[in-house]
A and B are shown apart, each in its own frame.
Chain A
Amino acid sequence: MLNMLLSQVLDLMTPVLLAAMAGALCERAGVFNIALEGKMLVGAFVAVATSVAFGSPVLAVLSAVLCTAVFASPLALGGARLGGDPIVIGIGLNLLAAGLTTYLLGAIFGVTGTLVDPAVTALPKFVIAGLADVPVVGAILGHNALVYLSWLLIFVFNIYLFRTPWGLRLRGIGEVPSAAAAMGANVSRYQTAIVILAGGLCGLAGAQLALGSVALFAENMTAGRGWIAVVAVMLGRAHPLGIALACLGFGLADAVGLRLQGQGLPNQITDIAPYAITLLAMIGLGLRGMKKRSV
């Protein structure tokens, strides 16, 4: 029972964690990225569309990463290089993603709402027979490669940001761009590369959303998860470990909500849970910050 809950939490938090990592990198580079929601949606769509065409999960994930990185390029070029407003571009990208995926769903597949196809299969999970019932270990095992990749990325980004010269340069660019430029860092090139990389990460998040526990694409299936990722970046103060913690909390809220729904609580109420809890967490953090300031 507890194993099942933990396992579900780890599944539910993964897309948000991947998207939040993308958001954190952009935040560190000084680009406010609110297009996570739209990019995730594009990733989910491309993953499922590629699966329908080729039936290969590996190809699906790769093309999701690639296409989402391309989709992020307006933010990379417009926001980082040309001085466009990243908020406007972010809003535009989110709405473009919602419109484009719905349009292509109808124009290519003749479907409205949900696309299911026998060729679309969920990503394979690493199940080790005999260990599934061992407490905690069983919950940690039995996920797909993207889940483990997301955990690996927590540590990779932690080392990259705080233990390497490139990470130091990136943080410098985000905090004092003029000083970083004076030190010889090419600010806009760094930002462009990071935003494109973040696009690829969002592609992974979308692929996990569409091919992780389910194997389908539904209109607007991200349902605000990209925004929760934006909040997770704020809650975790753009620190990989803090973000992982925030995403764990979100996954827990989501999983408990699903459980309560099974107990007969109306799903309209449980749907609110992740948003209400993220809001409460931000309020809590804000209050703590206020207390600190007044001391």
Chain B
Amino acid sequence: MIAAALDTKSRLAAILFSIVAAVLLGGLVVGLTGANPISVYLEIAKGAVLGRGLDETLARSVPLVGMALAAAIALRAGLVNLGGDGQMLIGGLAAALVALYVPVPGVARAVLALAAAICAGGLYAWLAAILQLSLGIPFLIASLLFSYIARGLTSYLVRYPLRDPATGMPETYRVASGARLPAHIFDLPVSMAMIVMAVVAIVIVVNDRSGVNGFEWRMTGLNARFAQYSGVNLSRQTQRVAFLSGALAGLVGALLILGQQYRFTDGALLAPGYTWSGLMAAVLAMASPIATIVASVFFAALQVGGFSMERALGLPAVLTWVLQALIILCLAARPILFRKR
């Protein structure tokens, strides 16, 4: 379906075409609202790499790569996971709870918190997979509805029972410094969260290229019936893929809480829209893991550039969101130009 069987060359051509088309269409939108598209794009490009731009792009890439890979491993096996927001929230809350209330010393507590986030996010997605397998409720819909439920539930919990009354914000207490993930390792500009995400990314790429799992998932995504005839247990595989996708989303939530925000604040995890940007990056990359990573870093740079453009020109940074969506739409229209007749 999405991991369409295009050879690498025409895939690359299709992606470049959609980026150029999106930039032109986005320029049209900017021009129609009375701004100069060229200076807008120049500011975005400068903001993404100059000054603190590169650092910010790198920092933003960590959660974005995570959510994009979460979407990609599901897409690879033919599942559309629209519930990343919910899985990230449940994972983030689980990590915050363990880091706050489980009485084990420092590093062990951080490790336990990460493990809790992985399990919680994974189980939350697995629940949606079970609904699809047993009752025929599409995973896409179930995972999204679960997302809305998680949003209300976590919002309620941090506003009332878990709230830190000392701050004016709806948020939990601060995680003790021992249970946090270091922002710098050996004074290098590399955070613990980056290292964790890099390891996860490598595992996913290797599994996709040479693991039996990776091969079976890809086969299912391309042709589920063929995969079943070849002996793949589709039900078990769907459950496993959903769990892993949700687990990765949960891990992203935990990395953000333990490595950056240090407490669970209502709305803070979802505000940057990592789930949806990640999904778009995965679609742009046609769910190939390496290409998904590249696409996520590209989108992270685009967003950082957008914020810098907003500071410089006063136009809403959400323009970069429009660009991302346009890229995906132009790519989906690809069959017009690249279909072999």
Contact = CB atoms under 8 A, between A and B. Distances in A.
Given A269-B152, A272-B152, A78 B333 contact: yes
Interface stretch (A2-10, A47-55, A95-103, A140-148): A95-103
B145 A95 contact: no
A77 interface: yes
Interface size class of B (residues with CB under 8 A): 35 or more
Instruction: Report, as a range, how many residues of chain A touch the other chain.
Output: 35 or more
A271 B153 CA distance: 9
Interface in A266-295: 266, 268-269, 271-272, 275-276, 278-279, 282-283, 286-287, 289-290
B335 interface: yes
Contacts of B331: 88
A271 B147 CA distance: 12
A198 interface: no
Contacts, number: 144
A96 B325 contact: yes
A282 B131 CA distance: 9
Nearest to A274: B148
B142 A268 contact: no
A100 B321 CA distance: 8
A271 B145 CA distance: 12
A104 interface: yes
A279 B141 CA distance: 9
Contact of A107 (B155, B316, B328): B316
A196 interface: no
A135 interface: no
Interface stretch (A163-171, A207-215, A223-231): A223-231
Contacts of A289: 135-136
Dominant secondary structure at the B interface: helix
B149 A77 contact: no
Contacts of A271: 148, 151-152
Nearest to A279: B145
Contacts of B82: 91
B235 to A, nearest CB: 15
A15 interface: no
Contacts of A286: 131, 134-137
A124 interface: no
B149 A272 contact: yes
B240 interface: no
A95 B280 contact: yes
B35 interface: yes
A87 interface: yes
Contact of A275 (B137, B149, B276, B319): B149
Nearest to B319: A103
A150 B148 CA distance: 27
The interface centre, meaning the residue of A88, A278, A290 with most chain B CB atoms within 10 A of its CB, is A88
B279 interface: yes
Interface string B115-157: 0000000000000000100111110111011101101110110
A289 to B, nearest CB: 7
A34 B80 CA distance: 12
B156 A268 contact: yes
B137 A283 contact: yes
A82 interface: yes
B179 to A, nearest CB: 27
A234 interface: yes
B190 interface: no
Nearest to B154: A268
B11 interface: no
Contact of B328 (A91, A100, A224, A272): A91
A93 B329 contact: yes
A211 B147 CA distance: 28
B271 to A, nearest CB: 12
B325 A83 contact: no
Contact of B318 (A85, A103, A290): A103
Contacts of B283: 88, 91-92
B329 A74 contact: yes
B33 interface: yes
A182 interface: no
A98 B280 CA distance: 14
Interface in B74-106: 80, 82
B2 interface: yes
A34 B139 CA distance: 13
Contact of B153 (A88, A96, A103, A272): A272
A227 B135 contact: no
Given A88-B2, A104-B33, A96 B329 contact: yes
A89 interface: yes
Given A89-B332, A103-B29, A95 B156 contact: no
A110 to B, nearest CB: 9
CB-based closest 8 A-B pairs: A286-B135, A99-B321, A106-B316, A96-B325, A272-B152, A268-B156, A92-B328, A107-B33
Interface of A: 34, 74, 77-78, 82-85, 87-89, 91-93, 95-96, 98-100, 102-108, 112, 224, 227, 230-231, 234, 266, 268-269, 271-272, 275-276, 278-279, 282-283, 286-287, 289-290
Given A91-B279, A227-B144, 5 more contacts: A91-B280, A95-B324, A99-B324, A103-B318, A271-B148
